[in-house]
Structures are given as C-alpha cells and as structure tokens.
Amino acid sequence: MSLILFFIFAILQSSLSVDPSNFKTCEQSSFCKRCRSVKPGQSHYAIIPGSLNSYSDSVTLELVNKENQHKFDLKLTGLVKGNNFRLEIDEKQPLSPRYRVTDSLKETPTAGQIKVIDTNEQLTVSIGPNKAVFHSEPFRIDFYHNEILTTSVNSKGLMKFEELRSKPKPVESSENQEEQQPSVEDEPGTWEENFKSHHDSKPKGPEAVALDFSFPEADILFGIPEHADSFALRTTHGKGDPYRLYNLDVFEYELNSRMALYGSVPVLYGHGQRASAGVFWNNAAETWVDIHGPESNVVSSIVKFVSGSVKSDPYAAHFISESGVIDVFILMGPTPLDTFKQYTDITGTVPLPQQFALAYHQCRWNYNDQKDVITVSEKFDEYDIPMDTMWLDIEYTDNKKYFTWDKQKFGDSIEMIKNLTDLGRHLTIIIDPHIKREGGYFFHDDCTNKGYYTKNKDNNDYEGWCWPGSASYPDLFNPEVRKYFADQYLVENFKTYTKDVMIWNDMNEPSVFNGPEVTMLKDNLHFGGWEHRDVHNLYGHMQLVSTFDGLSRRDPNQRPFILSRAHFSGSQRYAAIWTGDNKADWEHLEHSIKMCLSESVAGFSFCGSDVGGFFGNVEAELFRRWYQAAAFQPFFRSHAHIDTKRREPWLFPEETRLIIRDALRKRYSYLPLWYTMFYEHETVGLPVMRPMLAQYPHDKDAFAIDSQYLLQDKLLVRPVMQQGVNKVDVYFPVKDDKTGDLWYDIDNYQKYENTGYISVPVDENKIPIYQRGGTIVPKKERIRRSSPLMIHDPYTLIVALDKNHQAKGTLFIDDEKSYEYRSGKFIYTEFTFDKDTLRSKFIGTPKYSTNSWLERVVIAGLNRQPKQAKITYEGKTEELDILENAHGAITVRKPGSNMAKEFTIQLIY
C-alpha cells in the first residue's frame, strides 16, 4: 500500500512543474500576515526611562510595548571587528525560554570598548567611527558611520514582538484569569494552523518577532539568498509576497520568484554611492523579508522627518520571523567589501578546498554500476577531457540505506574507488539525512534503540516519506546524534569505502515528501525540547557539522569536501553549495549567475549550479554555453535527472565535444588562480565571485548588473546566456576618477579602455572574459587528466598592465590537500611589475618546497617591443627569449626559476 502511494507521488512529481499552491503565501502563514499588517509610523514600543545600564562593551535598556505594558530587555554590544553592533531583544520574563541561534556564528564575536553619552535628550553609543543613537518614543535606533546615517532600526515602526502567553480560555471563564486579556480577538491561525491536510498544533501560540531596517543611503538592496531571482532585491511591499527564507525542497522551482528555496541566509545589504551597510538577522525560524522601495513608501514624510536624511524615501527591509528572539548584527561598512568581510568575520569563511574540489565534477542521477563509473572515467581520458571527480547519487545504496552499497551493482566498491584514485581522481557519494525505517538496518536500529530520531509532538519517533519510503530523521541538534552520524563516516565503520571518498549531503532541508510544504511538521520536537519551528533553517547545517566532524576524524590531515543543498548562515564553514534542481533552459543558465552572486556576498563563495540543468534534456548549444559559463564559476559540476538522456560530452557531435573540452581545459589552466583566490577568501574573508559594485562602488549604472561579474578584482566574466547570439553587451565599469580600467581579452589580449556597454562579437567558441589591467594572474598550461597530476607542473604568469604600466598579483602554493598550510607549509608570493621589471617576493617565509618552475610570462599592454629579457635568481642571471603575440602582447620564454625562489625579470629594449 505505502509503496503504491510512493509511486503515485513519484509519478506526480515527474509530470508537473512546481505547483505554487503547495507552498504558503504570506497570507496563508498567520505570523507573516499578522506582522505584515502592522501599520507604519505607529510603533507601540518605547524605551523605559531610567532603565539604562552601561558596561564597557555594551548597554542594556528596557523596552515596553505600550499597548499591553509587556516588557523587553534590549542589549546593544559593540564588536571589535569592523566596529559593528549587535542588537539583542528578548522578553524580560518569557513564559518559557525563546530560541537563540548560536550555530551560525564562527565563535562568540569579541565585544569591544564603547563610548556612551547619555543626555536627557538622547543616548549615543559609539565604537570607532560608528555610533548608534537611540530614540525613546517611539523606539528607534539610528546607526551612523562617521556622520552618515546608514541604517535605521524601527524607523518605519514595524517592530512586533509577540510575547509568549497562555492560550485564552473560552470567553465565559476569562474573568477568572486576570493575566489573560487579549485586547483584540486573536485571528484564526494564531493558536493553531492548517495548511492543506496538515495541522500545526502551535503549543506556544503566537511568538513572532519582526523589525524594520531602513537604509537611507541605499540605491540598491541585495542579499538574503536563496531565491531564483535577480541579484538586486525587488520591492515587495504592496507588490505580492515578501521574500521567504524557509529551507524547502521545491520541485522544479520557478524563476524570477521570491519563493523559498533550499537555503536561507538572512543577511541583507544596502548600498549607495556614499556608503554601504548590512544587517544579519540571526534567526533560524521561518522568515519573510518585505522590501519597501522608495516608490511604494506611504509614509515618506515621517521617514524624512525622523531620519533627517537627504533621501526622503529610503529602501527598507522588514524582517519577520515566526519565533526566537531579535538578534541582529548591524554591519557598518562603509564599502561593500567591508560589509562582506564584516559578515564573514561573524559567520566564517569557506576553508581552502583541496585543489581537486575546484576542478571539474562529473555527476548524474545515476551512474548505474561500478563498470559505468569506470567506463565514464576512461572515456574522459579517451577524449582527452580533464575530469577530477565522479559522483554517485542515491542509487548506489542498497535500497536507499546510507552507508551501504547495492551489492549487485557496486560489489567491488573499494576496487572501483582505487581505480579512480590511481588516476588522480576522486569519488563523491551522497548521504542524505532521511533514514529508512527497516528493521535490521543498523542505522535505523541504533537510532530507534537510542532515541536518536526527531520526535513528533507526542514524543514518538517522527515518520515521513522520502526516497527510502518510510523514513525518520536523526535529531541532529543532539550532539550525541551528530557524533553517531559522524562516526559512520569512519573507515572502520563504513568498511566498503575509503578515506578518499567525499560526501554530498542532499535533501537536508529536510525534504519530507508527505510533509507540509515537503518538509517536517513545525511542532516536531528536537533536543532540548525545541520545536522544529525554532530551528528549521538550521537542520541541514547541523548535518554539515556532523559530516565535517566525521570526515575530519576519518583523516585528520585531509581537508574534507562536502556539498550541501540546504544551508544557513555559517554553513560555508563546512560545505560548498549548489543551486539545487534547476532546469535545462537558457533562463536557468542566467539564474546560475544571479543566484551564485547573492550566495557569494552571503559567505558562500563555493557556489555553483548543475551544468546543463538538472531537469530536461539539454540541447547542444545550451550545453556548450553552460560549460563555458560554469568553467568560470566556483563550483563546477555537471548533473542530470535520472529521466534525462545521458549527456557525457562525447555523446554530442564532435564540435560540441571539442567546445566542452576547450572550456574544461580553460578551467584547468586557471586552477592556480582559483586556488589562490580561495586561500585569500579563507584568510581575508572577501568573496571570490563578486558583483560589479564590490569593486566599483560609485558606479551607479553597475549596481544591479547580474549578467556579468568579477573574480576578485582580476577577471571580468560575461557568459553568453542566450541562444543563437553573435554578440553580447559587456559593461565596462567606471572608477572613482571617472575613467575606466584597461581590460584585456584573455583569449587574445585585445585591449578595451572604454567605459559603459560595449557590444562584443562572440562565436560559438567564445565567451567574453577580460583580465583587468594592473593584475597578474597565475596559470598552468599543461592540462592533464586530473588536477592532482598537475601539482608539479610549471606556471605561467599573465601580466596585464594598467595605464601606468604596472601590475601586481599573488600565487599560493602548498600540497593542495592537507592542513599543513595552517602551520605555514606554503609558498605565498606577490608579483609586481613596474618599470619594465617583474619581481617576485614572498609574503612570509616559505616553508614548502615545490618542483614547479616558471615556464613563461605573458605581458600585455606594453607600448613598445622589448628585444630581450633577463632573469636574476639565486644570484645568477640568464638571458631569455621573447616571442610576440597578438595585440602587442609578448611572451618571455622559459624563465626557469623554481617557484620556491624569488626572481627578477627585466625587459631589455
């Protein structure tokens, strides 16, 4: 019976695209509706006079809701890093504790020395160049960088903090219960709620928190992934639903949509020409974010009055969460890069991946058996196409029981893995959090016997439907359960795999096919008695914590690689993410960039999309264009649904195969740049993939562009994302001095020095990519079957000169695999080109040796042709030949210096 239901479900899934009616609108979500209906400009919250307490690093105050006299504690802390602020508001005496998110944070942020000035008129708290100015009634806080007001809290007066209360008795008996006197009748949905056939018992009743943030300086708001929408946030107030943050497995998701998706990262930025600022709303419950745009602002005169700002009608974001407390970090900027770094200072960065993880991944649902896996790997070699990692989706398991293999199809799993690792390749396998409820399956038996499963509201093991049929979900909020799950990754437990196998955590929203909105019931119970409602957006994150622990203990000296679908703030510390189950069409290719740009500024530098599109058969032109685009995105994996036609590159006509091969070889040639960029991401905290505004914060025309992007400040990438085009418009940005940078086409060194949109011709082999004048980019130009085999290969440096004939860049070299770089075993070099001389200089003392040497140096942008060059290293000087390239670029041949030596190369005229 149940199996039949499951198949009916599967058939339904495979024949329909997303049915939005399966997912709640704000109107159908009672807390969202209640909070969204708060009228602006009438805030009932006020600071209680005389309640101030000042400490060296924080102030505390009491707030009162003047409607019902309910009291709240407010704390504002100054943070050392970035001179940011943390604002926390909770009930003074809640009926029961309210959930506070800590797992998102890298560590408890260090508080810093603040200055407090309290006059009768107003309270000012400052740290460094930033200050917070409190207004008592109605309650509001204005945040200034220097003297510029950048963020204002509750200036629209949309704050709502629903105090926990006991459920009102029917009217007759209410006279005996003085403490319960709801001033208005509670709306339906307040104390229990139905959606479709699902009932939410809401044991604690209404407990939402909501607050608005205005950004008086902003011309654009962005952030709060994950949505299949533009990089710039749209105005939602009065224009349909807010953006929703609730980790969900949305089947065939819609584009240009604010619907929730797999991940939720509640950080939002407001940027304008004078300043940038951000807010990180640290709450893991279901959250909606209503965007008030200048044009929809109905109380502009009030805002103007209170903010005193030149912009009378600022952008604002109204955050609405179902439960928890208000815990928000105000990121004070003042530049976009500052705010991005301030966010990763709090939630962490992506740790440097192993080199192979930045190379190319080959996946489909499913490679059928061990022979299929090895054959596909061999075919890549036959066609001379580089590939690093084969992937196995759910079908490798014995009936969707994780940590087991289908013995018929993968009887020699160890040998299969060894066959891959012998070629320098890796295997990644899927481990999902739904556990098949089958007696005799050790994982299920252990979880049942030890009480490790998430409980339903009646404290019984919660059962749902997922790939295995009937399944339960480990309570990953329990540290003992996380340890148990992590232990299963140890080779002594999972004996039929090896420590070289990496892990893909999918379906971890968690996806529950028969649950409300395809996930778990909100009144389910987790460790510590918390409801699923409080922690939903963290469930996948806790799986990543566990997987990371398991892989780290499996082999302490190998950096784990994990891919996750669900994610929350901080998940970047453990896993790469991809944009889930996209579709083989052109618009999805465009969205791969929009979505990864939003993720990237929200900490997830290691982001990608399924190349070719997960659903549907991909036609050759789209497939080629997708490879060309993804070769310049951080996480690079081809993946496809089980119902699609096989799509390995050699199954397409030769022309397509060769273009794909070319795109892949280009990716491999830039691996030294990718690797260096990720090292710098980990240590500096800035995104690898950047929106134009990150580097050109004053070029207003560039703010909302999401069809092109930058890799650090080095490459400008403008993929071709339309069918049949022979030209694309590339935007060349404007610098602060109103001039443009020089840009060099990476294929032929053709120089561009105009600003604004330029129509660039493309043929099927080409997507426009430019190296910025002023940068030096490291490459390796001997492409091998997999990246580990390239470790000792020589380097090429591409020197792109700016208008002053200068350039600089960096290169990071280590063993590409272990944690030894954390104890200094690396070579980190800065290259500078000035006055016709290229110099390398170590940053720190190199404690790593390499066989790699410098094979060639290409210099673009010289205005005359040198005759010769000479290199000096280790006290000796040698003469070098020079070749001419197109567009006046030159190649200095075979400098020959080992990369662990400093050198100088001088051009001679």
Ligand X SMILES: *[C@@H]1O[C@H](CO)[C@@H](O)[C@H](O)[C@H]1NC(C)=O
Which residues are known to be catalytic? 506, 581
Question: For ligand X, which is the closer residue by CB, 236 or 370?
Answer: 370
Contacts of 416 (CB under 8 A, 6+ apart): 370, 373, 374, 410, 427
Question: For ligand X, which is the closer residue by CB, 416 or 857?
Answer: 416
The 8-class DSSP code of residue 79 comes to B
Only one of the segments 70-78, 411-419, 495-503, 573-581 lies at the binding site for ligand X (rule: CB under 6 A); that segment is: 411-419
- Closest separation between CB of residue 661 and ligand X, Å? 23
Only one of the segments 89-97, 116-124, 412-420, 817-825 lies at the binding site for ligand X (rule: CB under 6 A); that segment is: 412-420
- Measure the CA–CA gap between 273 and 260, rounded to whole angstroms: 30
Asked if 832 touches ligand X (CB under 6 A), the answer is no
Contacts of 152 (CB under 8 A, 6+ apart): 140, 141, 142, 143, 213, 214, 215, 216, 306, 307, 314
The H or E element that residue 677 is part of is: helix 671-684
Asked if 419 touches ligand X (CB under 6 A), the answer is yes
Name the residue type at position 725. V
Question: For ligand X, which is the closer residue by CB, 148 or 414?
Answer: 414
Size of the site for ligand X (CB under 6 A): 6
Question: For ligand X, which is the closer residue by CB, 197 or 408?
Answer: 408
Q: Of 416, 597, 640, 688, which lies in the binding site for ligand X, with binding defined by CB under 6 A?
A: 416
- Closest separation between CB of residue 601 and ligand X, Å? 42
- Measure the CA–CA gap between 420 and 522, rounded to whole angstroms: 43
- Closest separation between CB of residue 360 and ligand X, Å? 21
Footprint of ligand X on 833-852 (CB under 6 A)? none
- Measure the CA–CA gap between 386 and 223, rounded to whole angstroms: 34
Torsion of CA 486, 488, 494, 498, to 10 degrees: 0
- Closest separation between CB of residue 387 and ligand X, Å? 16
Contacts of 587 (CB under 8 A, 6+ apart): 255
Question: For ligand X, which is the closer residue by CB, 136 or 419?
Answer: 419
Tokens, residue 87 = 């604002």
Q: Interface mask (CB under 6 A) for ligand X, residues 355-394, using x and -?
A: ---------------x---x--------------------
- Closest separation between CB of residue 423 and ligand X, Å? 10
Only one of the segments 204-212, 355-363, 410-418, 771-779 lies at the binding site for ligand X (rule: CB under 6 A); that segment is: 410-418
- Measure the CA–CA gap between 244 and 258, rounded to whole angstroms: 6
Half-sphere exposure of 705 (CA within 13 A, CB side): 27
Only one of the segments 25-33, 409-417, 751-759, 775-783 lies at the binding site for ligand X (rule: CB under 6 A); that segment is: 409-417
For strand 807-813 and strand 756-761, is the pairing parallel, antiparallel, or unpaired?
unpaired
Q: Of 398, 412, 820, 902, which lies in the binding site for ligand X, with binding defined by CB under 6 A?
A: 412
Question: For ligand X, which is the closer residue by CB, 370 or 571?
Answer: 370
- Closest separation between CB of residue 395 and ligand X, Å? 16
Instruction: Give the bridge partners for 428, in sequence order.
Output: 391, 502
Only one of the segments 186-194, 335-343, 413-421, 837-845 lies at the binding site for ligand X (rule: CB under 6 A); that segment is: 413-421
Question: For ligand X, which is the closer residue by CB, 277 or 429?
Answer: 429
- Closest separation between CB of residue 329 and ligand X, Å? 50
Question: For ligand X, which is the closer residue by CB, 419 or 488?
Answer: 419
Asked if 48 touches ligand X (CB under 6 A), the answer is no
SS3 label, residue 212: strand
- Closest separation between CB of residue 495 and ligand X, Å? 16
Give one DSSP letter per residue of 555-579, joined into a string.
-TTS---EEESSEETTGGGT-EEE-
Only one of the segments 92-100, 207-215, 415-423, 820-828 lies at the binding site for ligand X (rule: CB under 6 A); that segment is: 415-423
Asked if 415 touches ligand X (CB under 6 A), the answer is yes
Residues of 490-515 as b/e, b for ≥16 C-beta within 10 angstroms? eeeebeebbebbbbbbbbbbbbbbeb
Residue 850: what are its φ and ψ, rounded to 5°? -145, 155
Q: How many CB atoms lie within 10 A of CB 891?
A: 18
Residues that bind ligand X (CB under 6 A): 370, 374, 412, 415-416, 419
